[in-house]
Structure formats: structure tokens, C-alpha cells
Amino acid sequence: MTLARWSLAGLVSLALACPAAALAQAFPQREITFIVPWNAGGSNDVMARALQPILKEDGVSIVIENVAGATGSVGLRRVAQSAPDGYVLGMGTSSTLALIAQGKTPLKNENFTHLVRVSTDPLLLLVPGKSGPATLEAFIDTMKKNPGSVSIGTPGSYNINHMFASMTARAAGVDFPHVAYTGGSKVVQDLSGGHLQGGVLKPSESIGQIQEGLVRPLGVFSDTRLALLPDVPTFKEKGFDVFPYGPVVQMAYVVAPAGLPKDVEARITGAFRKAIADPRFKTFAEQNAFLTDDLTGDALTAEVNRVSQALGVVADKVFPKSQ
């Protein structure tokens, strides 16, 4: 056997002996489509774009595609229906988990491989910077004096933002017109223009407008104040209970279609974990008041199921059955 033939035979034998290792080394061979199921400019879109250049340094190039609609369900349905080869990923959120828990989408948690959590986020009640009430108490008082007429906008319906908007109205003892949008950026836009009287959003999708004075945060839906916004009180310290049925959390996490090969899962998870732990992304998280951690794999799947169950319990109490 010639040297050339021996070398070729040896390579073939090595590849056959170690197919998983060969595939892991080869992946990815092209760009990965990363579906953000919300409009451009929202918090999940901004986070994905912050991770994009860091991932590229590790050999993982993602192309971000915004596929908005149905509180994240439209984009995530596309992820679920894609081939489980690692070349279509998406950003799951508590918003879509709430729909899954309520049976308002055909999606199930079992449709996905849960890879890595990107963030957990507090939520804020915001008003227009120039015309809104100056304090949380004043906003609640305005709702009491104008029952059924103080509008609150959220990115999507029947999600955690909608839940907190409903709990704000309950604190005032009145109904309210809920205005659902396909993303947080549109809520911020209408708040800034004075077309909404209130909005429930993450700091990461509103911090720029807060700093410019276009919108004003009145309260944090959390037990503690935010380091980034230390002057903004929590609902709890003002005597308003927004967790009467148990704690719920807003989070974002990377998903792939169910059935993703373990070696590809490991490659993607490793790249995202490295990017999320990168000092540049840590600084970005601090500047946008969200938390990062190292939750992946089976532990993340367990947390997704826990959060989904909690959201279902709260939704059953907060939203009338007629809705």
C-alpha cells in the first residue's frame, strides 16, 4: 500500500472510530439562524446582538432574525419545526412560557432542547416622562379616580408583563385598558410619545429612554430595588402586593428544536456559556439591570418547567376565564 493510500485509509478509520468527535469539531460549518421572537430593539433582540460578536470570536456566527407575533409563539414555532441540527436556535422567554402554561399556544416545553439561560430580569412600571404621574402612589391614585380609563401597555398578552399590569390595576381596585404590542420597543415608543399612560417593561428595553427623560420608572416589580435605579421604589415597600399568588420570574434562554444531538448541544452550550461569562457581556448586564448565571441543560429544563407551572397558577388567578 502506498503512503497516500495508507494515509487516506487511516483517516477514514479514525473518522469512523470517532464520529461524535469529528462532528463536534466540524460544527458549525455555516452561520446559525438565531430567531428572536420579538421586534428589533426589544430587550431580547438587544441581548442577542450583544452576544453576537463574542460568539463569533469562538467560531459561532449567528444571524439574528426577528420573527414577532403571538407573544413569542410565532418565532418559537418556527424553531420547534426546524431540523434538530443546531443551525436554527431561538430565544425562549417567560412570556411564551405563560402562554404554554395557559394552553394558549400549541407549543409545549417538550418541543425544545433547553440550552442556556441568558438573563433573569426585573420589570418596571413606567409612565411618560413629561406627562405621567411623579410617583407610584400618584399613578395608583389616578387609576382609582379614572376607573377603566388608564391604559397600560405590555409586549404581548397573557404574559408576566400583562400579569403585573393586572396586579397594578388590582392595587387600585379598578379595571384598565390593556394594550398589547409585538415587542417592548413599541411600548417604549408609544410611552415616550404620550400615547400610553403606563407600561410594564424590562430595564434593558427602556434604560436609554429613562436616562433621556422620555419615560419615568415609578416602581419595581421585585422585593428589592435595582442597583442601576436606586431611587425607584419597589411595589412591596409602598405597600402593594404584586406577588399574592407566589413569585414569578421573567427570564430569557436559548433553545433549539427537540432531539438536538448531544455533541452539537455541548458545542452550542459551551459557546454561549463562554460568551455570557465574558466581561464585556457582564458589563452589558450591569448597565441594563439584568442578572446572568450558569444554568444549562437538565437544570435549565427543570427551571423552565417550574417557572411555567408558577406562571400558570398566577394566570389562573389574575386573568378572568372569559379572556
**Cα–Cα distance between 133 and 218 in angstroms, integer?**
8
Portions of the chain given CATH number 3.40.190.10: 124-238
C-alpha cell at 304: 423552565
Query: What pLDDT score was predicted for residue 25?
Result: 58
pLDDT in tens, 161-197: 999 999 999 999 999 999 999 989 999 999 999 999 9
Q: Whole-prediction pTM value?
A: 0.86
Every domain range in the chain assigned CATH 3.40.190.150:
28-120+248-318
Residue 253 parent element (H or E): strand 250-257
Contact status, residue 113 vs residue 84, Cβ threshold 8 Å:
yes
Measured between alpha carbons, how far is 313 from 230 in angstroms, rounded to an integer? Answer: 31
Fold of 124-238: D-Maltodextrin-Binding Protein; domain 2 (3.40.190)
pLDDT at 323: 53
Q: What does CATH list as the number for 28-120+248-318? A: 3.40.190.150
Question: How does pLDDT run across 96-143, given as a tens digit for each residue?
Answer: 999 999 999 999 999 999 999 999 999 999 999 989 899 999 999 999
Beta bridge mates, 254: 91, 116
Residue 2 has a pLDDT of: 47
pLDDT of residue 8: 44
